[in-house]
Chain A
């Protein structure tokens, strides 16, 4: 253990004396954190959408006896997108130049058609051809869905008003015409006061059945309007998936690249410096040498990982990204970083032992790391063999551990499972590296 620590201390000193490598080690995670932070901020930013009002929307509009506040509705939409009022020409120009990602046009006669409650008026939507267009389309669809729900309630209320009029009687209006309705209740009472002939009793029975049926009209209409209801419940899943995935991938990607190359290069460098023989002649076992590189990789992963998480956290806090950074989870991340760094370091040491020369080892590590990462990015549900192969490499487990440690509401089970995977893989790769390190003596 003491010898491993001595070598680790030496490696840290060597690392400190390698300005280029140190600069890369410092700049790389910082660049990744900034990029990832910007991606997360961009993902949560409100897209700019033009609203072309060709119908001169009033502040409020009454439909089916219900008052709708147009201003409030627009404000509601603005929670998801930034609506800007533009003329048709301005909107077309800005869509062309990418200043707005969509144009929503309220055509002339929209409100009048809406008030008629006979035909469905149409909103016109024009989208840009960008990656974000699908998201804007979803936002517009959500807006129309929300408006339709409100209108449905208004239409149902209006129709139910007529039903109530038929049931109870009274004064109603349709297309500006006033009229009086006797109503079923009064009709029933009128029939009861008449001589009870078989024909009158038949009419009484019909009116009784009709009243019962009409009493359920409201529920039936609501059910027809929304055959399937959507009830939101609080989930125990991830607090916000996008940021979780982005940050976990950034951590796993950076650590995989750097620790793999660092461990591979530094083990092979012992041979390049010609000290491997000096160490191996009883001063330090090859196992000590390998585990020193594993410890170095774990230490570097810890420092870099925490730097990325901190920088990322600051960026998304400043950017006001929904959910914020789960700062209280950083201690759990420490465990993940150490295990991931160690496991990847063991794999790197194995590559270093096989390659034998620092330059070759770094190149081999670079060539190996790309397929490892790509395999980890392929969803195992889509390509099962990729999932199997990926489960035998540390990247996927590191990613899943980071995601779970930072964002799962109940992370313990997943963290324990992935930690065990990393531990086992690290042990296997480390043992193979110890065996392979004998090649360095040749």
Chain B
């Protein structure tokens, strides 16, 4: 554990859904400058941990500490937006809710950055890739210092992936941090400097990318 005050920290956070335990109590800190990859097989608890860190889910045990004033952006695995509203309307609504001073301007900027259609057609009619881009764009509203991304590149084309990582990796350089859940080993090696490995709802490994052994990962995913 670092002596530096974390931006976000899970303190014994666990989550049950009825009789099923999705996540055993977890201790995890996200520090300024962190680029944290959450890895593990399907159903390991990665999405649950990210949702708990984002505040989108209430923990069954423990709690989340957020450094005062820290803004957090979150993009869930399944796009979270209003299907009857257009991409622009979704962005403007969430910009207002995020307290953006110029919501229309912020929405227009993200439409351009994520190459989203500005027309009034409902976002439910967008392609899977465009819906995911909108999902990610919403996460960038409110100028977040910490970004929590759940399998963000799953439906993106190579160019969009490049743009996303360009924006995301700028955060740690500015004193922020990001954490992302992924199944893509290449992305872990390229963009993460720390790795947390989950399996069956338990955090079984946390450490620097150097400590992270690819052969060990192969064993974990086996």
Contacts and interface: CB of A to CB of B under 8 A. Distances in A.
Physical interaction between A and B: yes
A438 B58 contact: yes
B76 A17 contact: no
Nearest to B142: A283
Interface string A268-308: 00000111011111111000000000000000000000000
Interface stretch (A6-14, A69-77, A142-150, A371-379): A6-14
Contact of B85 (A3, A13, A281, A442): A13
Nearest to B53: A281
Nearest to A438: B58
A18 interface: yes
Contact of B89 (A13, A274, A275): A13
A367 to B, nearest CB: 24
Interface string B117-153: 0000010000000000000001000000000000000
Contacts of B96: 6
Contacts of B81: 273-275
Nearest to B96: A6
B55 A275 contact: no
A273 B74 contact: no
Contact of A277 (B17, B72, B80, B94): B80
Contacts of B82: 10, 14, 273, 275
B55 A280 contact: yes
Contact of A17 (B54, B79, B80, B85): B85
A301 B96 CA distance: 27
A441 interface: yes
A282 B78 CA distance: 19
B78 A281 contact: no
B98 A281 contact: no
B83 interface: yes
A17 B122 CA distance: 9
A274 B93 CA distance: 15
Contacts of B56: 277-278, 280-281, 441
Interface in A191-245: none
Interface in B88-109: 89, 93-94, 96-98
B119 to A, nearest CB: 14
Nearest to A15: B84
Interface string B24-56: 000000000000000000000000000100111
A281 B74 contact: yes
B17 A442 contact: yes
A279 B51 CA distance: 12
Question: How many B residues are at the interface, by size bracket?
Answer: 20 to 34
Nearest to B66: A282
B58 A441 contact: yes
Contacts of A438: 58
A16 to B, nearest CB: 9
Interface string A1-45: 001001000100110011000000000000000000000000000
A274 B80 contact: yes
Contacts of A278: 56, 74, 76, 80, 94, 138
Contacts of A273: 80-83
Interface in B169-214: none
B89 A281 contact: no
Which of A14, A275, A442 has its CB near the most chain B CB atoms (within 10 A)? A275
A283 B98 contact: yes
A10 B55 contact: no
B57 interface: yes
A274 B74 contact: no
Nearest to A283: B97
Contacts of A13: 84-85, 89
Contacts of B93: 6, 10
A14 B79 contact: no
A143 B18 CA distance: 73
A77 to B, nearest CB: 61
Contacts of A10: 82, 85, 93
Contacts of B80: 273-275, 277-278
A6 B97 contact: yes
Nearest to B93: A10
The 6 closest A-B pairs by CB, nearest first: A277-B56, A281-B55, A17-B84, A274-B80, A283-B97, A14-B84
Given A6-B96, A17-B122, A278-B74, 8 more contacts: A6-B97, A273-B80, A273-B82, A274-B78, A275-B81, A277-B74, A278-B80, A281-B54
Interface of A: 3, 6, 10, 13-14, 17-18, 273-275, 277-284, 438, 441-442
